[in-house]
Amino acid sequence: MVDWLRHRDEEPAWREIPDEIEQALARPLAPGGETEEAIYADFLETVLPYSLGNTHPRFFGWVHGAGTPIGALAGFLAATMNANLGGRAQAPVLVERQVLDWARELFGFPAGSGGILLSGTSMATVVGLAVARHRATGGRDRVDGIQDPSRLVGYTSAEAHNSIAKAFELLGLGSDALREIPVDDDGGLDPEQLERAVREDLEAGHHPFAVVATVGSVNTGGFDDLLALRRVADRHDLWLHVDGAFGAAAQLSSRFAPMLEGIDRVDSLAFDFHKWLQVPYDAGCVLIRDGELHRATFESRRDYLTSQERGAASGEPWFCDFGPELSRGFRALKVWFTLRHYGIERLGQMVERACDQATHLGDRVEAEAELELMAPVTLNVVCFRFRDDTATPAELDRLNREILTELHERGLAVPSPTRVGDQFALRVCICNHRTGPDDIDALAEATLAIGREVSGLVAV
Amino acid sequence: MVDWLRHRDEEPAWREIPDEIEQALARPLAPGGETEEAIYADFLETVLPYSLGNTHPRFFGWVHGAGTPIGALAGFLAATMNANLGGRAQAPVLVERQVLDWARELFGFPAGSGGILLSGTSMATVVGLAVARHRATGGRDRVDGIQDPSRLVGYTSAEAHNSIAKAFELLGLGSDALREIPVDDDGGLDPEQLERAVREDLEAGHHPFAVVATVGSVNTGGFDDLLALRRVADRHDLWLHVDGAFGAAAQLSSRFAPMLEGIDRVDSLAFDFHKWLQVPYDAGCVLIRDGELHRATFESRRDYLTSQERGAASGEPWFCDFGPELSRGFRALKVWFTLRHYGIERLGQMVERACDQATHLGDRVEAEAELELMAPVTLNVVCFRFRDDTATPAELDRLNREILTELHERGLAVPSPTRVGDQFALRVCICNHRTGPDDIDALAEATLAIGREVSGLVAV
């Protein structure tokens, strides 16, 4: 398996799943059991070759982590120990507290602030906004639910990720209660338009309670101005939550950390260890400035969960009081191994290296007459496409869609599809420590070659 | 590590964490990185020896899974592949679909019903009730939030787990909207009292929308009568959700499956693979009878998540449309390995063996004049205590609390604390395939010995 990781670049970046594999993976369960060897052999034949490709150096799609050998080791150790980190007196709980302390230190959160590992930023945002809701309702939400006659409303940028709207939905607030504020020329949530929207909602009798900032927007890698948003939030007593799913990793690089100025003054921060911080899936995190409020939002014990002064049932505080999960896996161990092994410095270098590759791709695209950059490159995201000045907008979309499919099906590279403004784009997001300049050049050349090949066909 | 698993019974069931270990696990992160060997050595010294003990044959606390070597292997493979199961065209998604099909088959859910793996039953219940809420609001909750002037109310048994109230809280319904219905003589939610409560709520202008049944209650292993609850639910158009965290595993045993009669007719079922089904943490599951409604509750895509007809971005449906998580780990692989390796038959035997141990403990307790059973043994849960007829109720609580602590601190066994009625009890819940009659006898004898030793001290 370690060999498999080591030689990823000798394999296609993605492979279509053959029908017979699809059928094999739809078989009913044999009631009588099978040997370890048989199942492992089946895994090697039917599962491993048909990964999505995110460990491959020419995988650029969506926002995927790439994994590491040390993360794989930690996954094995965690599955062997099989710890349940809901609480109680055990070293795994101390490991999670330790990695949360490292995260607090990294982002300038005070000692005593709350924090917990979750499955990813989607759930971390749910938790952050649940605490915000708890504060906004004066703590009544837990017992009474949302019965506020003046509706709770929040704000985020038009470039924000859909996980924020989904969090509003799950929490019973509804996506209509999330106002999408246009971005300014720098691609960040426009603070003046935010101010205006809050005032309008106040006048309409609504109850503005939270603003969700984005650091590292999914389509363009854009950053909201946290200091400016903090000022608006303070003026109107709004909770300031940050979606830093991948962008928060910029904090590890002295080159990019200034884009996160003010991160140490937000109320809650959601981010992933499993994206740009190289930890295997799944490992997200939320930090909450007000640790007591965090606990007050989720704390709940019955007789069978009371703790004791001593023995296995001691060890307060318990993590089950800081989120919606009671049984909780040992996500912390892979974070612990990964951060310790690489250290902040090398992880920061990986961040910079990824951004360098993005810059290189941006330069390559701008240098090629047949390629077109769809948005400025500010971090690790590049949206671009093949151009053909004789094609209509619809034809151009179709052409680039075809290029994307061919890149995938030939196993050359895996960008993902998106739209920038009104136009289809190939989206490249580089979190992968294995990606180098050769991979970028290979992508550019393959796009050009396929584009030339296909544009004739599409135009006909 | 496999050796560690193999020789668990030669170690204490639990060990107190020494101060120097606690300090070691509070150290700041070294910025420059460390070698794999150094971190692994540190893990062996500071983490592994201070597990909670749930892999140990004399660990009986709370409801913990015990793990297996095949689960550890799967954990390693999953962490190496590092798949993100949000969606897209990859074999890991097919693996999750396959294990969900096995679960549908096991519980008699129809093809086309919805399902997804989650971190555990707590989140699975959130998802099940989110779908119920979506149905009850005619789909308006996603956009408008909960603004129903008639309040949504639900019902569960007084013996239900607190994760259900927590789900009501997270969903914005509030815990007051969850009516706790007393249990009948068999320990299950009383259908007649449920009927009465629903009528009262209707008369008060509320909107009854869901009943949450429990199969395997946490304190006594009691089962609600699903067929009786189905009738009440049908009469009032209520969603019937089942919390089967560990108790759903009874379905694997022909001896216990009759207690789950009607499970194939519920609207949603939440249960854990990581408890009695021997899969390592974390792996919970929800099945939703109405697959379209399940999808309609969570489906949400933006440009950067559109799928394509072909290539890596194909492979609909995507799991991100069936729950709150977008990035999702490869939980399915350890379920796939575990279910295939042991097969339903052997897993069912493990269920029966655990119940046999519980029965044995119940018999032992009843045979000992100094021990007292606090509730009938119906499955794998035994609540008991040391008795001392000269002691006051408060003294008896203190005595048994002391016994529990001594059992832990001497590393002899790990029951957990609870209360049955008004009285402190030692709670034993056996999910562990490693537990045998000798372990049960050792627990009974240690309880007697410590009880005799301590009762003199406490009485003085």
Phi, psi of A6 (to 5 degrees): -70, -30
CA distance B290 to chain A (A): 19
In CATH, the number for domain A83-329 is 3.40.640.10
For chains A and B, what is the number of CB pairs under 8 angstroms? 497
**The total number of residues written for chain A in this structure:** 460
Looking only at the bridges linking them, the beta strands covering A416-420 and A207-214 are: unpaired
Q: Which fold has domain A1-66+349-460?
A: Aspartate Aminotransferase, domain 1 (3.90.1150)
Give how far Cα B418 sits from Cα of A303, A423, B34, B102, B385, Å: 5, 60, 43, 35, 11
- Nearest alpha-carbon partner for A163 in A284, A250, A59, A257: A284
CA distance A153 to chain B (A): 11
pLDDT by 10s per residue, chain B, length 460: 878 888 888 999 999 999 999 999 999 998 899 999 999 999 999 999 999 999 999 999 999 999 999 999 999 999 999 999 999 999 999 999 999 999 999 999 999 999 999 999 999 999 999 999 999 999 999 999 997 767 999 999 999 999 999 999 999 999 999 999 999 988 899 999 999 999 999 999 999 999 999 999 998 899 999 999 999 999 999 999 999 999 999 999 999 999 999 999 999 999 999 999 999 999 999 999 999 999 999 999 888 899 999 999 999 999 999 999 999 999 999 999 999 999 999 999 999 999 999 999 999 999 999 999 999 999 999 999 999 999 999 999 999 999 999 999 999 999 999 999 899 999 999 999 999 999 999 999 999 999 999 987 655 4
CA distance A232 to chain B (A): 25
Please check whether residue A31 touches B, CB under 8 A.
yes
Which tokens sit at A200?
Answer: 């309008």
Whether the Cβ atoms of residue B51 and residue A13 lie closer than 8 Å to each other = no
Separation CA B398–CA A124 (nearest Å): 40
Whether residues A170 and B126 touch (CB distance < 8 A) is answered with yes
Whether residues A50 and B282 touch (CB distance < 8 A) is answered with no
From the list B48, B91, B309, which residue is nearest A21 (CB)? B91
Please check whether residue A404 touches B, CB under 8 A.
yes
From the list A176, A282, A298, which residue is nearest B328 (CB)? A282
Which tokens sit at A181?
Answer: 């504020």
Please check whether residue B12 touches A, CB under 8 A.
no
Q: Which residues of B touch A69 (CB under 8 A)?
A: 36, 80
Site of tokens 């993005």: A358
CA-nearest residue of chain B to A423? Answer: B303
Lowest mean pLDDT among A143-152, A187-196, A369-378, B283-292: A143-152
Q: Where are the domains of chain B?
A: 1-66+348-460, 83-329
Looking only at the bridges linking them, the beta strands covering A207-214 and A239-243 are: parallel
Separation CA B227–CA B243 (nearest Å): 15
Torsion B416-B419-B425-B429 (CA) sign? negative
Whether residues A312 and B61 touch (CB distance < 8 A) is answered with yes
Helix (H), strand (E) at residue B72: helix B69-81
CA-nearest residue of chain A to B48? Answer: A81
From the list A66, A142, A304, which residue is nearest B416 (CB)? A304
From the list A174, A312, A336, which residue is nearest B408 (CB)? A312
From the list A16, A97, A308, which residue is nearest B417 (CB)? A308
Whether the Cβ atoms of residue A266 and residue A223 lie closer than 8 Å to each other = no
Whether residues A312 and B416 touch (CB distance < 8 A) is answered with yes
- To probe the interface with A, which of B303, B309, B382 has the most A CB atoms within 10 Å? B303
pLDDT at residue B6, as a whole number = 85
Helix (H), strand (E) at residue A401: helix A393-409
Please check whether residue B108 touches A, CB under 8 A.
no
Beta bridge partners of A242: A213, A269
ipTM above 0.90, yes or no: yes
pLDDT tens-digit readout, A138-156: 999 999 999 776 799 999 9
pLDDT tens-digit readout, A297-325: 999 988 889 999 999 999 999 999 999 99
Report the top-level CATH class of B1-66+348-460: alpha beta
Whether residues B312 and A40 touch (CB distance < 8 A) is answered with no
Q: How many CB atoms are closer than 10 A to CB A122?
A: 28
What is the DSSP track for A233-255?
A: HHHHT-EEEEE-TTGGGGGG-TT
CA distance B132 to chain A (A): 12
Question: B19-49 burial by CB neighbour count: b if 16+ within 10 A, else e?
Answer: eebeebbeeebeeebbeeeebbebbeebbbe
Phi, psi of B404 (to 5 degrees): -60, -50
* Res. A2: pLDDT tops 90: no
State the average pLDDT over residues A147-171. 93
- Nearest alpha-carbon partner for B456 in B374, B370, B382: B370
Whether residues B79 and A334 touch (CB distance < 8 A) is answered with yes
How far does Cα A455 stand from its chain's mean position? Answer: 34
pLDDT at residue A460, as a whole number = 44
CB contacts under 8 A, A 220-279 vs B, are 272, 274-275
What is the DSSP track for B234-269?
A: HHTT-EEEEE-TTGGGGGG-TTTGGGGTTGGG-SEE
Torsion B185-B191-B194-B195 (CA) sign? negative
CA distance A231 to chain B (A): 28
What is the DSSP track for B183-230?
A: B-TTSSB-HHHHHHHHHHHHHTT-EEEEEEEEBS-TTT--B--HHHHH
State the average pLDDT over residues A51-74. 96
* Res. A110: pLDDT tops 50: yes
Separation CA A336–CA A96 (nearest Å): 8
Whether residues A408 and B312 touch (CB distance < 8 A) is answered with yes
Q: What residues contact residue B46 under an 8 Å CB cut-off, 6+ apart? A: A91, B21, B24, B25
Whether residues B73 and A76 touch (CB distance < 8 A) is answered with yes
Give how far Cα A426 sits from Cα of A183, A393, A398, Å: 22, 15, 12
CA distance A292 to chain B (A): 18
Separation CA B33–CA B39 (nearest Å): 10
From the list A26, A333, A405, which residue is nearest B308 (CB)? A405
From the list B27, B29, B73, which residue is nearest A339 (CB)? B29
The angle at the Cα of B403, spanning B398 to B408, to the nearest 5 degrees, equals 130
Whether residues B219 and A28 touch (CB distance < 8 A) is answered with no
Looking only at the bridges linking them, the beta strands covering B178-181 and B239-243 are: unpaired
Whether the Cβ atoms of residue B253 and residue B352 lie closer than 8 Å to each other = yes
Whether residues B312 and A142 touch (CB distance < 8 A) is answered with no
Whether residues A61 and B312 touch (CB distance < 8 A) is answered with yes
Beta bridge partners of B189: B183
